[in-house]
Structure 1
Amino acid sequence: MITLDHIRPYHDSEVNQALLDYMEHPMIMAMLQFTFPQKSMEEIVTIVKSCRSIRDFQTKIIYNSVRMVLDKSSEGLTTSGFEKLQTDESYLFISNHRDIILDTSLLNVALYDHNLVMTASAIGDNLVKKPFLMALSKLNRSFLIMRNLPPREMLGTSKLVSEYIQKLLLKENRSVWIAQREGRTKDGNDKTQQGVLKMLALANDETEQMDYFKKLKIVPVSISYEFDPTDVLKMPELMAKHHDIEYVKSSNEDFNSILKGATGKKKRIHVSAGKVISNELDIIKNSGEQANGQLQMLAELLDKAIHKNYKLWPSNYLAYDMLHNTQAFKKKYTIKEKRQFERRIKRRVEANNKVALHNFLKMYATPVTNCLNYDEEQI
């Protein structure tokens, strides 16, 4: 039977020992040396030994790791909307999901920079099969979402996770991050799965489920990368889907995606925090819809916020124009940016493979299409 101890992050009292246990693991050592290239091994060990809590680990090590990743692989991180949030409040951040580790890491950088409560973050247990990845996730305040369980056991575990999220948000004043869907978006079409909302509602102790969601203070988050460093890794699954073939992951696929996500070139990155969803929940509650209908309305509300707040880059506009054989957005990119994007396509898509080209362009163009669905003038 799965208990809270199976899914929770480390307690602060467990952090120091866990760091000492894993510090000499080759991957952890490589991360530490990457994070502190100017420091001696002795100085790095001193920093590690000084970490007595998850916050210590996040602020002394992981924050610097992410900043180094940004320096080495991007042209900078910008944010918006965080200044409207309260520094002493906990929020349920529901975001689109493009990168296994970076999405939540970038959100926490933004929260730390704005002096906001950092998150406990949901992560699929399939992503942390390697012991050092499990340790890193627990050190970084991640809790596990269990996958591939029998239906009855899955329901019980989902309720356990839901109750844990409730406890974090309402009793411990700890913000929570969860992706809007299981698994990363591969085709650029960020859509909220109703099942995620159903799981969150399992701990509902209110008469009306929308009243419960209001208590959780949901903030939709949009994360956009000018270049997706894992775009080429997503192509096999997209091609399998196009040809209606079952896609089977390779044994190291997720780990390779984590590494590529961290080291691959991204150009610019933007993280946008939307407004707390509140009054809209009253409208849903009074809509006359049954529980499932209300959850679908909430999913659509989240999608709208995520799509409208999504920062569109020249790569998105270029892909849209190339996909639809138009020049509708030619003022949104330069000749240099067009050449750069075309070189990216050439390196990632087999020549004369029209199906692969279509899928690759659609991956980047869909955020534009989604935004057009709501407000043509906005873009």
Structure 2
Amino acid sequence: MITIDDIRPYYDSEVNDALLKFMEHPMVLAMLQFTFPNKNMEEIMAIAESCHSIRDFQSKIIYNSIRMVLEKSSEGFSTDGFEKLEKGESYLFISNHRDIILDTSLLNVALYEHDLVMTASAIGDNLVKKPFLMALSRLNRSFIIKRDLSPREMLKSSKLVSSYISNSLQKEKRSIWIAQREGRTKNGDDQTQQGVLKMLALANDEDQVMDYFKKLKIVPISISYEYDPTDVLKMPELMAKHKEIEYIKSNNEDFNSILKGITGRKRHIHISAGKVFSAELDEIKNSGEPNNKQFQMLADTIDAEIYKNYKLWPSNYLAYDLLNNTTKFSEFYSDKEKRQFKRRIKRRVQIGDKIELENFLRMYAHPVTNHLKYKVSAS
């Protein structure tokens, strides 16, 4: 029987003991030494000992860790839309999903720097099988999504998660981050899954489900990386899908993706916070469509907001032009950027493999394709 204790983050009263318990784990030590390169172990230990709540841990350690990651592996992190959100208010952030750890961590950096309520964040239990990763996730206010359950157990687990999310948002005034789909988008085509929305609605206490979603205050989040450091790691799965064969993850694949995502070069990163859905939900409710159709309408509305606010980089425009053999977007990249992107392709794609090249380019080109679709539908 799955209970709330199986999925929740640590309580504040548990934080200090949990942190000190895992302090000596080699990976946790490496993270702390990376975060505080100018401090000795005694000083680092003092910082850890001073953490008596999740907010302490996030503000004193994780915030500095992510800022150091940005300094070492990016050329800039920018945001927009957060100034429109209200301080002290909780929101349900539904986000496209590219990086296992950084997506939600960067969102919390943006929220912290705008003095907004930080999130509790959903994470699959398949990603935190190692005890120290589970501990770090719970210290960072992650709640666990159980995978590989029987249909009956999956429904029970989903109801528990839905109730936890509803309670966090409405009673505890704690914001929530959840990806728009199960797992990361590997091919760059960000699409919200109805299943995620239906899980959220399991705790519905309104006659009309869209009235319930209005209470949760949905804010779509668009996150874009100029270069995806895990792009090459996503290729085997993309190729397996292209060949219509089953893809089986290798041992430590997710852990390697976490490390590569953190340490790999990303160039520029941008996060946009969309508008809080209200009138959009009324329009869906008043459509008279059955619930299933309404869920799809909501998914499409979230997608449109993500596409509209997605920051397109030279890498995206380049991939689109190379994939479609055009110069349509040549004004958005320089010759130097084109040479750099072509060098990236050579290092990641087998020479002469046309199908592999197309899949790699599509990964970066899809956001442009989706943005064009949005512009057409909005006009």
Same fold (TM over 0.5): yes
| Pairing 1:316-331 to 2, within 5 Å after superposition | 316-331=316-331
Aligned counterparts, 1:162-201, within 5 A: 162-201=162-201
Which residue of structure 2 aligns with residue 352 of structure 1? 352
Q: Which moved more, 1:368-377 or 1:185-194?
A: 368-377
**Structure 2 letter corresponding to 1:159:** K
Alignment-derived partner of residue 297 in structure 2: 297
Matched residue type, 1:63:
Y
TM-superposition CA deviations, 1:333-357 (whole Å, max 9, x none): 0000000000000000010010000
Q: Please, what is the CA RMSD of the aligned residues?
A: 0.9
CA offsets per residue over residues 242-281 of structure 1, 9 Å max, x none? 1101000011000000000000000000000000011110
CA distance in 1, matches of 2:245, 2:377: 39
CA drift of 1:376 comes to 6.3
**CA distance in structure 2 between the partners assigned to 1:337 and 1:345 by the alignment:** 12
**Cα distance in 2 for residues equivalent to 1:88 and 1:48:** 27
Matched residues in 2 for 1:44 and 1:329: separation?
Answer: 49
Q: How many corresponding residue pairs? A: 378
Gaps of 5+ in 1: none
Residue 373 of structure 2 aligns with which residue?
373
Aligned partner letter, 1:193: Q
- Separation in structure 1 between the aligned mates of residue 25 and residue 189 of structure 2, nearest angstrom: 38
Structure 2 unmatched ranges of 5 or more: none
- Structural mapping, 1:47-58, within 5 Å: 47-58=47-58
Which residue in 2 is equivalent to 1:156?
Answer: 156
| Corresponding letter in the other structure for 1:247 | Y
SS at match of 1:375: helix
1:1-379 equivalence runs, <5 A = 1-375=1-375
Q: Secondary structure in 2 aligned to 1:374? A: helix
Q: Secondary structure at the match of 1:241?
A: helix
Mapped partners of 2:88, 2:47: distance in 1: 28
Deviation at 1:196, TM superposition (A): 0.2
Deviation at 1:377, TM superposition (A): 12
Measure the CA separation in 1 of the matches of 2:252 and 2:274.
Answer: 35
Helix, strand or coil at the partner of 1:144: strand
Query: Shift of residue 375 of structure 1?
Result: 1.4
Tell me which amino acid in the other structure corresponds to 1:145: I
What SS class does the counterpart of residue 120 from structure 1 fall into? Answer: strand
Distance, in Å, in 2 between the alignment partners of 1:109 and 1:235 is 29
Structure 2 CA distance for aligned equivalents of residues 312 and 20 of structure 1: 42
- Superposed CA deviations along residues 145-197 of structure 1, whole A, max 9, x for unmatched, are 11010001100110000000000000000000000000000000000000000
Rounded Cα–Cα distance in structure 2 between residues aligned with 1:180 and 1:220:
9
**Alignment partners' CA distance in 2, 1:5 and 1:377:** 45
- Runs of 4+ in structure 1 over 6 Å off: none
Amino acid aligned to 2:107: L
Distance 1:374 1:294 in 2: 19
- CA distance in 1: counterparts of 2:52 and 2:46, whole angstroms: 12
**Which residue type is aligned with residue 346 of structure 1?**
K
User: Partner amino acid for 2:202?
Assistant: L
> Percent of counterpart pairs with the same letter?
75
